[in-house]
Amino acid sequence: MSKEIIQSNKVPAPIGPYSQAVIANGFLFASGQIAFNPANGELVLTDIQSETRQVMENIKAILDEAKLNFAHIVKTTIFLSDMQLFAQVNEVYGSYFTSQFPARETVAVKTLPRNVNIEVSITAVIEL
């Protein structure tokens, strides 16, 4: 098996021993993204909509680097600090997809890195 590491300079660098994304066996596996603004390295925590939008823009940058788009995503996992945020997150998240939505699970967790409210990871297929 071979794998290709995807690293975008439009997404904050990993803060640990992991890659932003890896391509293997026809799939892209992206690490969970939180709302780091790559322009200034700061978290976007103004409100849950802005936080979610920054997460999705970080995912978009990874997809762009791999020459993919949101239509290639087949699976997402959304981690929330509070399930009460679900409707607001879902509204922003849904605006990034047009049809043939990916499979997904959304789970509430006790805490997330840097005490953010949302983290999203994705799996995308290279060819449609």
User: Where residue 75 sits, what CATH number does that domain have?
Assistant: 3.30.1330.40
Question: For residue 79, what are the domain limits?
Answer: 3-125
Q: 60-105: per-residue pLDDT in tens?
A: 999 999 999 999 999 999 999 999 999 999 999 999 999 899 999 9
In the chain, where does DSSP find H-type helix? Answer: 48-65, 86-94
| Percent of the chain residues topping a pLDDT of 70 | 99
pLDDT for residue 46 is more than 90: yes
Lookup: tokens for 42: 């700061």
Which of 48, 3, 47 lies closest to 25 in space, CA to CA? 3
pLDDT of residue 108: 97
Q: How confident is the model at residue 128 (pLDDT cuts 50, 70, 90)?
A: low
pLDDT for residue 115 is more than 80: yes
The chain-wide mean pLDDT, for the chain, equals 95
Domains identified in the chain, total number: 1
Sign of the torsion angle spanned by Cα atoms 65, 108, 91, 125? positive
Q: What is the DSSP string of 87-113?
A: HHHHHHHHTT--SSPPEEEEEE-S--G
Q: Distances in Å between the alpha carbon of 102 and those of 1, 21, 51, 109, 126?
A: 26, 18, 21, 22, 14
